[in-house]
Amino acid sequence: MTVQYDFANHPVSEIFASNCFNETAMKKLLPIDIYNELQDIQHGDKDLTPAVAEAVASAMKQWALEKGATHYTHWFQPLTGSTAEKHDSFLSIGKNGKVVMDFSGKELLQGEPDASSFPNGGLRATFEARGYTAWDTSSPAFIKETEGVKTLYIPTAFFSYNGQALDKKVPLLRSCDAIERQALRVLRALGHTTTRHITVSVGPEQEYFLVDREYYEKRIDLRLTGRTVFGNLAAKGQELDDHYFGSISDRVTVFMNELNYELWKVGIPSKTQHKEVAPGQFEVAAIFDVANVSTDQNQLLMRILKSVARRHDMKALLHEKPFAGVNGSGKHNNWSIATDDGQNLLSPGDSPEDNLLFLLVLTCLIKAVDIYAPLIRASAATAGNDHRLGQNEAPPAIISMYLGEQLTEILEHLTTNTPYKKRNGEILKVGVNALPGLPKDMTDRNRTSPFAFTGNKFEFRMVGSSQSLAGPNTMLNAAVADIFAEVADRLESATDPKAESITLIKEFYRNHKRIVFNGNGYSKQWVDEAQRRGLPNIPNTVAALQQLVVPEHVEMLERHCIFSKEELESRLEVYLEIYSKQVNIEAGVMVEMARRSIVPAVTRYLSELCDDMKVQKQVGFATEELEKIAGLLSRELNETIKTGELLHITLAQALAMTDDTLSQAKFYHEEVTERMADLRSHVDMLETYTDKQAWPFPGYEELLFRL
């Protein structure tokens, strides 16, 4: 029975973060001196001491036991793209043989999983198994409930015996430190003395599909790959534009109600929910938080999303392109940078043309995205995203920046003295007396731009829906930190930092405005224009991932202590392997579906069709149309068998290429995916002409239009 949570009798203020060991809980349970010291530790002003760890562990254990938890786990993010956990109970045996519930500072600080059993790209061998999980003091612990079972989850970093990062959290934290170091230098050089800390803020918009679990279970491709490797659009798709912000069905409304309840309990501030463009597609967005916490919360959100959907007999699909022909799903990464004394460094203010600091930070981003576009592109490179980019509101693979008309005019005015008309709080009027005038935003929106300015932040729209936020934000932070370092060097040596700032703004925009594009990113003209401008167009994952080990990228990431060369080489190895394995699984599923289900089903249907034609001929009915259909089915069936066997042979060739990970990934991209496309074209044609009752799998109509 579906439960509807009563927020009238149990208000959100009572529920929110009730299962989160956040500042409120710590302030209540920790001695004030320990709490204050922990705050300094979280801000990087002090090192963690054993005494503080012991006090926090004791309070955390007390809080978790009162909540009904019996186990705890160090929760980390290995290079699989998912999360990992090893559970231990609080149970211990005292000297008198009695059970005691124990949790020490040492157990809070450090765990030890098997590092060799996770992807590591050669950093660890099987006989070198030791790795460590270390408590991340900056991300709050939480209680996760699963049908009444409660477990304490402790966000942790994961690294090797030699200190190399084996996860996505460590590089993200390093990149946040790097951008803080360099941004503080810039602010100090400009006379800002009150700022002590800089934070990168991230607000993700998570897109997903919901399908009825009954139909999901009947599709082996959805179960094993997360997407439909075969399938035709239904007679109706998204062409009427009637899904976006459309009314939400009762069943999904109840699901969203429970989803919010579960998210709010663990302190995830889900704010927005709505139908997306494609049928069966939805979005949930959370309020901004610091990048590391937002990343952890999004990983947890994806897991809760799937759990709640299951309880409602639905399946939440997070693949970037589960259905061909309609919108795919992204995770729009809204990125901003702020100070601890209340400044959003990307807020233009009422007069952006006079806001020197804003214009300096803005042009730093323009230069960073221009120079490191290939690295930023690599951060969003996955096999799933290859199906999504460049169509149906997903940005193209060419990295560009959308600034909007006003900011572009300001920067053009500063660099070329073109006319600029100052805008003072423009009001948008629509000519209807009953409707109020609305304050007009500084920029329009551009849904085809990979990197769009949206008022006081940039929206990186290229990130895939199943991805961790850590990778894209790590590379974006690193790129911006590198340009901030250059600016700080020049400001610190300048006799007039303000004049030098103006010089930098003009220089950066003049030299890097090729990255600014306010038009249609889908147009053929833009592809040609981008090539003329010299912008890189990296269309696929295999080509993009190689940017991780380009010497200038390695040098920059090492210089800011974000990655070592060995860590980058290991990631290239891991991500190429993941790409190859993902394509291999999808191709294998295609072969199995075609061989074991589709070919037999169509053969039976064709046989029945031929028998029907014989009967109809005997009674004198015309059978020309049936003969055409039978002939088409027969041809497509033969082509399906032939291309299926070719794909099977090609897969065997790919699997034999074990000596060179890059060559193998290239072969999967260039040869295997081409065979997959051929097989899909024939199978989808078979589906078009086969009796619906004879087709062995639920089609797009059932999958997309039953909720």
Helix (H) or strand (E) holding 149: strand 149-160
- Tell me, yes or no, whether 465 and 521 share the same domain: yes
- Tell me, yes or no, whether 658 and 544 share the same domain: no
Which of these three, 510, 529, 563, is where a domain ends?
A: 563
Amino acid 1: pLDDT: 44
37 falls within a domain: yes
User: In 3D, which of 396, 266, 362, 256 has the Cα closest to residue 312?
Assistant: 256
24 falls within a domain: no
Amino acid 418: pLDDT: 74
Amino acid 438: pLDDT: 43
Whether the pLDDT of residue 304 is over 90: the answer is yes
Whether the pLDDT of residue 480 is over 70: the answer is yes
Q: How far is CA 627 from CA 599, 613, 622, in A?
A: 19, 8, 10
110 falls within a domain: yes
- Tell me, yes or no, whether 400 and 547 share the same domain: yes
Amino acid 238: pLDDT: 84
Mean pLDDT for the stretch of residues 306-328: 95
Strands 91-93 and 84-89: unpaired
Confidence of residue 443 (pLDDT cuts 50, 70, 90): low
Handedness of CA 114, 117, 120, 125 (dihedral sign): positive
Which of these three, 539, 563, 587, is where a domain ends?
A: 563
The rounded distance, in Å, linking the Cα atoms of 669 and 541 is 9
- Tell me, yes or no, whether 401 and 531 share the same domain: yes
Q: With beta carbons less than 8 A apart as the criterion, state whether 369 and 376 touch.
A: yes
- Tell me, yes or no, whether 241 and 140 share the same domain: no
Whether the pLDDT of residue 284 is over 70: the answer is yes
Amino acid 435: pLDDT: 44
Number of independent structural domains in the chain:
3
Whether the pLDDT of residue 532 is over 90: the answer is yes
Whether the pLDDT of residue 466 is over 90: the answer is yes
Q: 44's torsion region: left (phi>0), alpha (psi -120 to 50) or beta?
A: left
- Tell me, yes or no, whether 559 and 582 share the same domain: no
DSSP string, 374-416: HHHHHHT--HHHHHHTTSTTPPPSB--EE--HHHHHHHHHHHH
Stretch among 260-274, 515-529, 538-552 having the lowest mean pLDDT: 515-529
Start-to-end CA span in the chain (Å)? 17
Q: How far is CA 226 from CA 180, 219, 220, 276, 371, in A?
A: 38, 10, 9, 19, 35
- Tell me, yes or no, whether 272 and 239 share the same domain: yes
Amino acid 119: pLDDT: 82
19 falls within a domain: no
Q: What is the dihedral of CA 610, 616, 622, 623, to 10 degrees?
A: -10
Q: What is the CATH number of the domain that holds 207?
A: 3.30.590.10
Q: How far does Cα 91 stand from its chain's mean position?
A: 37
583 falls within a domain: yes
Stretch among 208-217, 252-261, 337-346, 348-357 having the lowest mean pLDDT: 348-357
Q: How far is CA 357 from CA 183, 187, 362, 408, 422, in A?
A: 11, 9, 8, 16, 18
Tokens 């809204």 correspond to: 334
Q: Could you tell me which residues come within 8 angstroms of residue 37 by beta carbon, excluding any fewer than 6 positions away?
A: 46, 49, 52
The rounded distance, in Å, linking the Cα atoms of 643 and 637 is 10
Whether the pLDDT of residue 392 is over 90: the answer is no
- Tell me, yes or no, whether 516 and 624 share the same domain: no
Amino acid 455: pLDDT: 82
The rounded distance, in Å, linking the Cα atoms of 273 and 237 is 21
Q: With beta carbons less than 8 A apart as the criterion, state whether 642 and 698 touch.
A: no
Q: Could you tell me which residues come within 8 angstroms of residue 4 by beta carbon, excluding any fewer than 6 positions away?
A: 254, 257, 258
Q: What is the CATH number of the domain that holds 661?
A: 1.20.120.1560
The rounded distance, in Å, linking the Cα atoms of 108 and 53 is 7
pTM, rounded to two decimals: 0.93
Q: Which residues of 560-594 are buried (b: 16+ CB within 10 A; e: fewer)?
A: bebbbeebbbbbbbbbbbbbbebbbbbbbbbbbbb
13 falls within a domain: no
- Tell me, yes or no, whether 234 and 293 share the same domain: yes
More confidently predicted of 364 and 422: 364
Which of these three, 141, 167, 193, is where a domain ends?
A: 167
Whether the pLDDT of residue 562 is over 90: the answer is yes
Mean residue pLDDT of the chain comes to 90
Whether the pLDDT of residue 559 is over 50: the answer is yes
242 falls within a domain: yes
Residue type at position 175: S
Amino acid 609: pLDDT: 85
Residue 548: CA count within 13 A, CB half-sphere: 29
Confidence of residue 72 (pLDDT cuts 50, 70, 90): very high
Whether the pLDDT of residue 463 is over 50: the answer is yes
Amino acid 440: pLDDT: 46
2 falls within a domain: no
- Tell me, yes or no, whether 428 and 279 share the same domain: yes
Amino acid 611: pLDDT: 82
Q: What is the CATH number of the domain that holds 81?
A: 3.10.20.70
- Tell me, yes or no, whether 655 and 542 share the same domain: no
Share of the chain above pLDDT 70, in %: 93
Q: With beta carbons less than 8 A apart as the criterion, state whether 293 and 17 touch.
A: no
What is the domain range of residue 641? 578-704
- Tell me, yes or no, whether 505 and 602 share the same domain: no
User: In 3D, which of 368, 235, 205, 214 has the Cα closest to residue 298?
Assistant: 205
At 193-229, the pLDDT tens digits run 999 999 999 999 999 999 999 999 999 999 999 999 9
